[in-house]
Structure 1
Amino acid sequence: MNTQPIGLFDSGVGGTSIWKEIHSLLPHENTIYLADSKHAPYGSKSKENIIELSIKNTQYLVDRGCKIIVVACNTATTNAISILRDRFSIPIIGIEPAIKPAALKTKTKAIGILATQGTLSSTLFHQTTDLYSDGIEIVERVGEGLVPLIEEGKINSEEMTSLLKLYTKPMLDSNIDYLVLGCTHYPYLIPQLIKLLPTNINIIDSGAAVARHTKAILEEKQLINPKKTKGVNTFYINTKNKQTIATLLGGDHDIKYLDF
């Protein structure tokens, strides 16, 4: 089973930011990435719908023989991770906004969180913020419209710049020194955000931490691929537009259309 792939899914192409971190840390592992762009964004959907889609995606990856599943989506994690772990027997890794490191390191005692409505309204998110919010102002903003623009490849568009200015203004007014990106699509906006924000603001996401956790679980379960050849990486997308994911991934990758 050690040579079986790592499975990842997201509500579209954003989770490739997580895939890049995992591939960089574990280049010999085979991977299957499932991009549910047809149903993106998950953040505006009901909890029931998010759970249904998450089960469907996980089942597909399990049926492909994946040895571990990475839910490369904050909204799916915060709404469905416990149900997925109850339903499936293989290890399942989730992703949450990196609130803890921001809260522990802030000097201005104010941090910003940019995430989807589905993440910000979830029980798991509120449990996490309650643990680390004592004496700290947390400025939450829903990044409405950001995911569709990223899915359309409009990362550097004027519309994107306008939305980012709108969403970060209340954070700047509160003198944040950390901005937590609570959606796996959002790391692709870091170049834009660096241009817009003062240099004293640190931008953090969970990608590297998720990769390290994935490696640790594979080692613990003795599931590390012993082969030292380059891993085989397959990407499935359920819309006809492959250009965005191809651009974000860079290089030559096996991207297939799958009706799911």
Structure 2
Amino acid sequence: MDRRPIGVMDSGLGGLSVLRVLRRELPDESLLFVGDQGHFPYGTKTQAEVRRLALAIGRFLVRHDAKLMVVACNTATGAALPALQAALPIPVIGVIRPGANAALATNPRTIGVIGTDSTIKNGAYERTLHELQPAVQVVSQPAQPLVSIVEHGQTGTSAAQQAVDKVLQCFVTQPVETLILGCTHFPFLSREIQRRLGPSVRLIDPAYETVQTVKQVLTDKHLLAAGGQQRTALYTTGRIADLQAGADKWLAGDYEQCSSVKLDGE
């Protein structure tokens, strides 16, 4: 039994979508979340800059005794996962391969991917999907404006629906059977996205499959905190009030600590 926390990082509030699945699926585990809102957004940064920020957060999590790191950010997974796995002394899990596996589970012929500018430009989902299933057709679409909709608490508004309708216009002329929500912010817009694409399109939130991978790694390495009391500590490099607002909305205010943090080199 290992009661050290699971560390989770994101460029902002989107990683809370992974955190809430972790809390549901692994109720005995304590969680340590870092939202890098002070450097938001990652999707318009260079790969090298995203790697630098992700490594700084990884080192922070290790110093705070995390037993495993979840990169709950598609952009950071695409840019920094191998570097994090090489540099840190703990297991590091990203969200791209679990999301790709989930999308292919029902053998669709066409899969759409929406993500930040960086994630789409990097092509990590398309590469992974074709590695797993060479014949699948992939339609990728950058959806950077939707990230700000979530960060600014505009989900459920007419402005959110208008933004979704505009960004997803390409899927009207290039219809898909399955759509990967390739940014952890996007599950908070799933209602608007489903409304735009229609009920026949299957939406894939990589969070659930990522958490199943976490559960398997913890089991294999005998790191589960069976019988523990879950605690959730939240950190931000930006404004505490912004993180608190997101956590109150999406975690129902169920956390013990919400603090600010400065990363290495700042």
TM-score where L is the length of structure 2: 0.90
* In 1, Cα distance between equivalents of 2:228 and 2:132: 42
Out of 113-122 and 125-134, give the one that drifted further. Answer: 125-134
* In 2, Cα distance between equivalents of 1:50 and 1:20: 24
Any stretches of 5+ residues in structure 2 without a counterpart?
Answer: none
Aligned-residue CA RMSD (Å): 1.9
Residues 167 and 133 of structure 1: CA distance in aligned 2, closer, same or farther (over 3 Å): farther
> How far has the Cα of 1:123 moved from its partner?
5.6
TM-score where L is the length of structure 1: 0.92
CA contact (8 A) 1:8 1:19 kept: yes
> How far has the Cα of 1:16 moved from its partner?
0.9
CA contact (8 A) 2:232 2:257 kept: no
Over residues 106-159 of structure 1, what are the superposed CA-to-partner deviations in whole Å (9 max), with x where a residue is unaligned?
A: 55x322111112112226434213325644332211112111221110112333
* In 2, Cα distance between equivalents of 1:239 and 1:166: 30
Over residues 178-211 of structure 1, what are the superposed CA-to-partner deviations in whole Å (9 max), with x where a residue is unaligned?
A: 1110001111111222222211111111111111
Q: Which residue of 2 aligns with 1:185?
A: 185
> How far has the Cα of 1:104 moved from its partner?
5.4
Q: Which of structure 1's runs of 4+ aligned residues deviate more than 6 A?
A: none
- Tell me which amino acid in the other structure corresponds to 1:233: T
Q: Which residue of 2 aligns with 1:83?
A: 83
CA contact (8 A) 2:115 2:183 kept: yes
- Equivalent residue runs for 1:45-124 within 5 Å: 45-96=45-96, 98-103=99-104, 105=106, 107=108, 109-122=109-122, 124=124
Q: Which residue of 1 aligns with 2:194?
A: 194
CA contact (8 A) 1:114 1:180 kept: yes
* In 2, Cα distance between equivalents of 1:257 and 1:4: 19
What percent identity do the matched residue pairs reach? 26
Q: Which residue of 2 aligns with 1:247?
A: 249
Q: Which residue of 2 aligns with 1:19?
A: 19
CA contact (8 A) 2:113 2:140 kept: yes
Q: Which residue of 2 aligns with 1:218?
A: 218
Q: Which residue of 2 aligns with 1:207?
A: 207
Task: Give the total of aligned pairs.
Answer: 258
Residues 136 and 253 of structure 1: CA distance in aligned 2, closer, same or farther (over 3 Å): same
> How far has the Cα of 1:229 moved from its partner?
4.1
- Tell me which amino acid in the other structure corresponds to 1:56: A
